[in-house]
Structure 1
Amino acid sequence: MTEPTEPAPSQLVGDRYRLVERIGRGGMGEVWLARDELLDRDVAAKRILTVGADTDQGSTRRRRAIREARAAARLTHPHAVAMFDVLVADDPWLVMEYFPSVSVADVLRRSGTMSPAEAARIAADVAGALAEAHRRGVVHRDVKPGNILISTGSSGHGTVKVADFGIARSAGDPSITRSGIVTGTPAYFAPEVARGAEATTASDVYSLGAALYTMIEGRPPHGDDDNVIATLFQIANTELRPMTADTDLTQVVVRLMTRDVESRPSMSEARDLLADWVTRSTGSVDLGLLGGVADVVAELSSAPPTLMPTLSTPSSPVRRTRNVPAELTSFIGREKELADLAAMMATSRAVTITGPGGVGKTRIAQRVASTRADADGPWFVEFDRVRDAAGVADALVSVLGITTAGGVGAVVEHLGYRSCLLVFDNCEHLVDTIADTAHQILQACPQVSILVTSRTALGVPGERRYALAPPSDGTELFLARSPQAVGPEDLDDVRRLCEAVDHLPLAIELAAARTRILSVRQVLTSIGDNLAVLGPHDSERRSRRTSLITVIDDSFQALRESRRSLLIDLSVFVGSFDVDAVAAVTGRDFGLVDDLAGLVDESLVTVVGGDPRRYRLLDTVRTFASGHLDAARRTDLVDRRRRWAVAIAADAFDGLRGPHSVAWMTRVDAEMPNIRAALDDASPVDSAEYARIVGGLYWIWYRKGRIDEGSRLLDPVLTESVSSVSDSDLVRCVVGRALLAYLAGDVDVIAGCGDRLRVIAHRLGPDPAPGQARRAAAESAAMLAFMAAGMGTPDETREWAVRARGFAMAEGLAWTAAETEIAFAGAASRIGDAAAVGRHLEAMRSTAQEHGFDWLHASALWLTAKHTIRTTGDTAESRRLLTTMIAICERRADLTSWMVGVVTLAYVEFVEGYHERAALLLGVTARRSDESGFFPERLDPIDMAEFVTDMRSTIAADTLGRGIDTGRTLNRAGVASLIADCATSRSGPVDRPGHENYPGTRGD
């Protein structure tokens, strides 16, 4: 073979393009920065290596280069890299627009994931370019993160362009690839391409969806196995892996990645879907204002390409401005029902969808909600795992992100001026309680509508009932859900089968799943025989519920014994579960994954996403399986579930504070329904286990502001006999209760917790035994130090802080030792030692960064900002510290600290005269004294402090900011943009009285 001749800087190519430097290199080519000496401009010259390759390979590369040039030259679009020229020499050169950039793949290698807002904006731009390519008859065929570029240049910074039409084909192009040879990147193939079909515009749409999925999730939708055949098999034969990100953008992704080619949107429709989502969910999105991608792009652009690190950091959770579960399977039919419901909801604020189990109430409510464009919603609230009135309030508070005490009253206050739809799903077991809640909301919140799914109507005033019947013909649903193709000769049997099960959607899906191993005729015969035992087909005594249970039983009886017993055991779970939980609770190990997969294949277990993957039983299936669970096995499972919850809580205590806190918050949130069930079992049986569970989990209730739920679950340990509870567990429960009382402003409870901690500290003594006793002494002394600092007693503060730090360091409790610096700083502040305050806060910040305690780092920034403005009045530095703190809290899903930072930033904005921004950050409509200002000019900082204190409950309930006088609302992107505005403001020290009185300086 002939070795390729290496180009060199200053070499002239094609008598026109002067090479400057090589800026990229791959297996089949290299890219040079060059100067177009004719037009006096920078260009990118891509050399395709053909010399040195074998004859066939070199010929293929040469033809592909020419085809890329032709395809790209046909496309002129602001989001596509422009093609200028092609030089056909020994090695072809493509001359194109010079676009200093990094690829999305580069960004993902550094950041792990992108926020949905960033990903959607990028995908919308790419879709626009590809839509134009499709209009001109060009199919890209290799849409992937590596071919999506983000500009790093000084002009057009953040511009997105799609590149590399190397395997693109225009209409009428001959094939240049041998049959059976894979071209493109398999991880982003559409299913039809993975099965060997030619790529089309529809497969480009699927690939864009796969790239968008990867941006949000951090990995391709079907994995990225080094074994190409394995990857192709996964794409061709398995369902899309459910997304774990908490965003309704998943609905757009699912539409783009629909397996049915005919149902997939066109690229122009995909562009519109993405653009609409960006506008609806985030407002006008500019990468220059979004910290995540912009920061990574800036960092990557300053590093040599060969030295780009491949670090992966946790993604920033997205604060929700709506919540509707993504549809994981295609929605079939129901056009008339959707139209009827839309008409009914246009005239009524309360609509209840009623019908038997399995008729599709939840699915149609989900579809209705997904099509809504309410200003502040919609919100989908599941009540199937709720057991009582307190649980109803908890479910609403959790979904809406409310962080104040008050139960349903707090929900009503939060929704008072919102315009949104609430979906109350699965309400039949708590009709009276949920009816009362709905009535309160409808009365007090005039712009809120409620859509209910229940087997019976709620009976609230003004409610309209929509009785949902099964579809008139379930054939289409059966065909869509059958894992095996159904031929024309089987259609009559399919129709008879659907009639036999009364066209109930759930029954049809279960029956369709059986065709994985049986013919349609065999499924029909099996179900028909079972129904015949119950009576004639047209017997009025045979209800639709009977039909459904018969189909479930038919599937159940066909299972092998290990899978039947596993399904029965799974009925003990409330809500979703993962494989580890199943193994711990059921005691299974060998064959568990295989048996669980078999239940999924039979549609008896549903995959609901997550990492690790999570599953759940539909309520009807759970009820059926539970009926087969004998008393002895139930007792054993309940005991195992309680011990599992104890183990989870023990690991979560440190995990919720460490560098993987976001993953732990996600995990504990997902497990909470089963943990609550375990607590119900533990409370009357073993108060020690109960205390271990709630004592290990109080941090999540504190950080997420779930005051009511946490307080209610912690109180039994503090009020009941606790003789069996260890000092270590008791201290954690008391500390957790004190922190929640702090959020609620409940001084009496805080004082009571302080008394309890003093008793425990006295019992433990000045020299507690190493291990749990000394840990308990460290944690109790640290909380007593904080309380003393709040009461303004510096000597007592230092005494407890010294004790806490000594015990913590002896036990290796880095975060407890670092937390004591807060108390030391408070004591130093009381005696006017500003230098000591700075030293303590710097020590706290340093330890926090060293160990990945982002929550502690955020606290250090907040305290430093307060110290700065109190001692120097430097608002510019305080603003920088606060906006950095807020970004950390956003990244770590620390809602309560995020709001503390926003409140304090609002104060800084106020004293600087940015009254409107202050009011927007507070989430309130400002009071006016005249038409000239948003706040009365006579309102000094002391009054502002009181005003902020009065509004703490309001802002704690809001994750959106309310506009001034106009009644407009800010979504999360709006708030982020506002904070960015604050961060770019430039102010210095100000001389205004009363800085010592701003929120938080007196133990707040």
Structure 2
Amino acid sequence: MTDEQLRQTQTTRAAAVPRVLAGRYRLLTELGRGGMGVVHRAEDTVIGRHVAIKELRLPDAADDAGVFQERVLREVRTGGKLNDPAVVTVYDVIADGDATFIVMELVEAPTLSTVVRSQGPLPPHQVALIGERVLAALQAAHNAGIVHRDVKPGNIMVGQNGRVKLTDFGIAQAVDDPRLTTSGMLVGSPAFMAPERVAGREALPASDLWSLGAALFFAVEGTLPFERSTTAATLHAIMNEVPYLTHAQGPLASAIMGMLISTPEARITAEQAKGLLAMAAQQPGYAPSTPPGGQHTAAYAGGQPPTMMGPPPTGFAPQPPPAPRRSTAARRALTVGGVLAAVALLAGGFFLGKPVWGPSVDDAMLPTLTYGRSGDMRSYYFSGSSYYCVNTPIGAGRSITSENWVDCDEDHDAQLYESAAAYGLSTEQDTVPASFPGDESLAAFAEAKCGMAFHSNRIRDESRPNLKYQAMVPSQGEWQRRMDGTDDPRRNVYCFVVPADGGRLNGFQTNQVD
């Protein structure tokens, strides 16, 4: 046997001998790979049970392995103290040279990401049950002073017996240390990162709620609410757009949209979300029709956790033909379970029978107007201005020209306080030939957006009692005209505040202006 053959034989024999960590954990097989490491199935030879071991990788651009290891050990040990049925238990943390290993409970179940990618959108009541259990795990963590920082479908495991487990507690927080990198990276999955984190603020318990809302949106819709073709576009969508639910209504929709409020201080609390999810979990009757490929079931088996979430959504689900617009009074009755589920709780509905942000009928909302071809306001000018206030009343038959935009320190009749691409269209998707969603549905989307912003701290508390708000949406003719190739293909909705007493305003009515 030559020296080369001998070396190859020795290498093969060495590879055939399982690696043993800390003298007790024998690595058996690789279960999966992710952004922060490799997961192995292993045997704890001391007590004879199988465990999962995550081998953490040093983040790209990190140049201090000692700092990384020290922080991982501290944070993961802290997370290991959590005691909740929905938390994956951490048994041990091992430092072996430059590598760090987390020894965890072995949960043989697919992730929520795998389930949705293989089975399609889940029934709303099942999504609510999953949300309840993940929320319980987050509440246990938050009560212990721990923020997860990376809540996503890939970290939520759904077992055959209905068990739900949230994993990776402490790991994201351990990695998110400015001493580890000079690149200014954000740790976490961009598509599930809360707006305040994108803006550079510290992660809060409310940030985990936002991420949970995005994960539940994915579970019930089958598409990611904010993921776009590039990271930059994804972050822009998180900061500026509002997703639209098509498969959920009532308390589940209110819970999801409440958790996705962009301002953390205005976001619903964990207790409010818990109550809504509990209500939704008991309402299996409004599950969507069976998708192509077979029936939904309450439990799933097999499959390995994926490392990628899959391609971003590229368009809309098919929309029903336009329906006749209901009366303004009907659209203003914001009740849980109605078509305005996104604002049933947020902009004027009830939380378990108790008012949260306003009465069941939002008296602050004025009739929604259309703009553009054959719209209520045929002449309008919304773009290209650095001003937010207009010196002309807003109403049917009125016009807004470039000359009407004035400094808000001047007397004015209305102030623009929020806008959004209709149905969450991003810059890249503005020219997608999406069919007109219908007057009623488009008005519901705009009123949800405007109502949430009006009843949040977007509007100054001292100003709100003296104001009313009004949504403005493109008419069907305007929607079609912009689809057919105008210089400005955007189809935006706009939110204005006006004096409640019919007088005039002076000064900003908002706490912040984008």
The interval holding the TM-score normalised by the smaller chain is 0.5 to 0.7
In structure 2, the CA distance between the partners of 1:526 and 1:93, relative to structure 1 (3 Å rule), is same
Structure 2 residue 87 is the aligned partner of structure 1 residue 80 = yes
In structure 2, the CA distance between the partners of 1:173 and 1:282, relative to structure 1 (3 Å rule), is farther
Cα distance in 1 between the residues matched to 2:170 and 2:248: 36
Q: Deviations over 1:224-253 (max 9, x none)?
A: 43x222211221122x12112253222221
Cα distance in 2 between the residues matched to 1:32 and 1:526: 66
Following superposition, the deviation at residue 267 of structure 1 comes to: 2.5
Cα distance in 1 between the residues matched to 2:481 and 2:269: 47
Following superposition, the deviation at residue 80 of structure 1 comes to: 0.7
Following superposition, the deviation at residue 21 of structure 1 comes to: 2.1
Q: Deviations over 1:308-335 (max 9, x none)?
A: 99899xxxx9xxxxxxxxxxxxxxxxxx
In structure 2, the CA distance between the partners of 1:470 and 1:291, relative to structure 1 (3 Å rule), is closer
Cα distance in 2 between the residues matched to 1:262 and 1:193: 14
Q: 1:589 aligns with which of 484, 491, 500?
A: 484
- Structure 2 counterpart of 1:26: 34
- Structure 2 counterpart of 1:119: 127
Structure 2 residue 377 is the aligned partner of structure 1 residue 517 = no
Q: Is the 8 A contact 1:82 1:96 kept in 2?
A: yes
After the TM superposition, which residues 215-226 of structure 1 pair with which residues of structure 2 at under 5 Å, given as runs?
Answer: 215-225=219-229
**Aligned-partner residue type, residue 11 of structure 1:** R
Cα distance in 1 between the residues matched to 2:439 and 2:383: 29
What TM-score do you get using the length of structure 2 for normalisation? 0.61
Cα distance in 2 between the residues matched to 1:194 and 1:311: 21
**Aligned-partner residue type, residue 212 of structure 2:** L
Query: CA RMSD for the aligned pairs?
Result: 4.7
- Structure 1 counterpart of 2:155: 147
Q: Deviations over 1:119-160 (max 9, x none)?
A: 1111111000001000000000111101001125xxxx3311
Partner secondary structure for residue 87 of structure 1: strand
Following superposition, the deviation at residue 71 of structure 1 comes to: 3.4
Count of residues paired in the alignment: 374
- Structure 2 counterpart of 1:851: none
Cα distance in 2 between the residues matched to 1:584 and 1:514: 15
Cα distance in 2 between the residues matched to 1:79 and 1:311: 29
Following superposition, the deviation at residue 601 of structure 1 comes to: 4.2
Cα distance in 1 between the residues matched to 2:53 and 2:362: 64
Q: Is the 8 A contact 1:79 1:126 kept in 2?
A: yes
In structure 2, the CA distance between the partners of 1:246 and 1:230, relative to structure 1 (3 Å rule), is closer
Following superposition, the deviation at residue 589 of structure 1 comes to: 2.0
Structure 2 residue 101 is the aligned partner of structure 1 residue 99 = no
Q: Deviations over 1:476-530 (max 9, x none)?
A: x8xxxxxxxxxxxxxxxxxxxxxxxxxx5769x999x96983535x51x344xxx
After the TM superposition, which residues 382-401 of structure 1 pair with which residues of structure 2 at under 5 Å, given as runs?
Answer: none
Cα distance in 1 between the residues matched to 2:16 and 2:75: 25
Q: Deviations over 1:853-907 (max 9, x none)?
A: xxxxxxxxxxxxxxxxxxxxxxxxxxxxxxxxxxxxxxxxxxxxxxxxxxxxxxx
Partner secondary structure for residue 82 of structure 2: coil
In structure 2, the CA distance between the partners of 1:583 and 1:574, relative to structure 1 (3 Å rule), is closer
In structure 2, the CA distance between the partners of 1:65 and 1:277, relative to structure 1 (3 Å rule), is same
**Aligned-partner residue type, residue 597 of structure 1:** R
Cα distance in 2 between the residues matched to 1:187 and 1:67: 27
Cα distance in 1 between the residues matched to 2:489 and 2:60: 50
| Structure in which a larger fraction of residues adopt strand | 2
- Structure 2 counterpart of 1:832: none
- Structure 1 counterpart of 2:353: none
- Structure 1 counterpart of 2:244: 242
- Structure 2 counterpart of 1:553: 399
In structure 2, the CA distance between the partners of 1:178 and 1:78, relative to structure 1 (3 Å rule), is farther
Cα distance in 1 between the residues matched to 2:268 and 2:307: 40
Following superposition, the deviation at residue 163 of structure 1 comes to: 0.5
- Structure 2 counterpart of 1:181: 185
In structure 2, the CA distance between the partners of 1:105 and 1:574, relative to structure 1 (3 Å rule), is closer
Q: Is the 8 A contact 1:30 1:48 kept in 2?
A: yes
Q: Is the 8 A contact 1:104 1:145 kept in 2?
A: yes
Q: Is the 8 A contact 1:12 1:19 kept in 2?
A: yes
Structure 2 residue 233 is the aligned partner of structure 1 residue 365 = no
When Rg is computed on C-alpha atoms for both structures, the one with the higher figure is 1
Structure 2 gap ranges (5+) = 1-13, 287-293, 318-325, 341-358, 406-434, 443-472, 497-514
Partner secondary structure for residue 56 of structure 1: coil
Structure 2 residue 69 is the aligned partner of structure 1 residue 62 = yes
Q: Is the 8 A contact 1:68 1:164 kept in 2?
A: no
- Structure 2 counterpart of 1:827: none
Partner secondary structure for residue 52 of structure 2: strand
In structure 2, the CA distance between the partners of 1:162 and 1:246, relative to structure 1 (3 Å rule), is closer
- Structure 2 counterpart of 1:567: none
In structure 2, the CA distance between the partners of 1:167 and 1:86, relative to structure 1 (3 Å rule), is closer
Partner secondary structure for residue 548 of structure 1: coil
Cα distance in 2 between the residues matched to 1:294 and 1:144: 20
Cα distance in 2 between the residues matched to 1:275 and 1:469: 25
Cα distance in 2 between the residues matched to 1:77 and 1:117: 22
Following superposition, the deviation at residue 173 of structure 1 comes to: 9.0
Q: Is the 8 A contact 2:113 2:306 kept in 1?
A: no
In structure 2, the CA distance between the partners of 1:548 and 1:293, relative to structure 1 (3 Å rule), is same
**Aligned-partner residue type, residue 261 of structure 2:** T
- Structure 2 counterpart of 1:204: 208
Structure 1 gap ranges (5+) = 1-5, 284-289, 318-356, 371-377, 382-465, 472-476, 478-503, 528-546, 560-569, 604-1004
Q: Is the 8 A contact 2:190 2:231 kept in 1?
A: yes
Q: Deviations over 1:544-586 (max 9, x none)?
A: xxx7347x43369969xxxxxxxxxx99x8756899x869976
Q: Deviations over 1:778-816 (max 9, x none)?
A: xxxxxxxxxxxxxxxxxxxxxxxxxxxxxxxxxxxxxxx
Q: Is the 8 A contact 1:20 1:33 kept in 2?
A: yes
**Aligned-partner residue type, residue 205 of structure 1:** L
Cα distance in 2 between the residues matched to 1:262 and 1:306: 33
In structure 2, the CA distance between the partners of 1:587 and 1:83, relative to structure 1 (3 Å rule), is closer
Q: Is the 8 A contact 2:482 2:489 kept in 1?
A: no
Partner secondary structure for residue 265 of structure 2: helix
Cα distance in 1 between the residues matched to 2:34 and 2:362: 59
Q: Is the 8 A contact 2:482 2:490 kept in 1?
A: no
Q: Is the 8 A contact 1:60 1:176 kept in 2?
A: yes
Cα distance in 1 between the residues matched to 2:183 and 2:311: 38
In structure 2, the CA distance between the partners of 1:216 and 1:306, relative to structure 1 (3 Å rule), is closer
Cα distance in 2 between the residues matched to 1:167 and 1:108: 25
- Structure 1 counterpart of 2:48: 40
Q: How high is the sequence identity, in percent, across the aligned residues?
A: 30
After the TM superposition, which residues 866-881 of structure 1 pair with which residues of structure 2 at under 5 Å, given as runs?
Answer: none
Q: Is the 8 A contact 1:24 1:30 kept in 2?
A: yes
**Aligned-partner residue type, residue 133 of structure 1:** A
**Aligned-partner residue type, residue 130 of structure 2:** I
Following superposition, the deviation at residue 20 of structure 1 comes to: 2.4
In structure 2, the CA distance between the partners of 1:268 and 1:56, relative to structure 1 (3 Å rule), is farther
Following superposition, the deviation at residue 48 of structure 1 comes to: 2.1
Following superposition, the deviation at residue 168 of structure 1 comes to: 4.1
After the TM superposition, which residues 122-137 of structure 1 pair with which residues of structure 2 at under 5 Å, given as runs?
Answer: 122-137=130-145
Cα distance in 2 between the residues matched to 1:25 and 1:145: 15
Cα distance in 2 between the residues matched to 1:198 and 1:469: 34
Following superposition, the deviation at residue 273 of structure 1 comes to: 2.2
In structure 2, the CA distance between the partners of 1:589 and 1:125, relative to structure 1 (3 Å rule), is same
Q: Deviations over 1:906-945 (max 9, x none)?
A: xxxxxxxxxxxxxxxxxxxxxxxxxxxxxxxxxxxxxxxx
Larger RCO (CA within 8 A; separation ≥ 6) = 2
**Aligned-partner residue type, residue 519 of structure 1:** Y
**Aligned-partner residue type, residue 148 of structure 1:** I
In structure 2, the CA distance between the partners of 1:97 and 1:7, relative to structure 1 (3 Å rule), is farther
Cα distance in 2 between the residues matched to 1:597 and 1:134: 40
| Structure in which a larger fraction of residues adopt helix | 1
Cα distance in 2 between the residues matched to 1:306 and 1:469: 44
- Structure 2 counterpart of 1:263: 266
In structure 2, the CA distance between the partners of 1:162 and 1:291, relative to structure 1 (3 Å rule), is farther
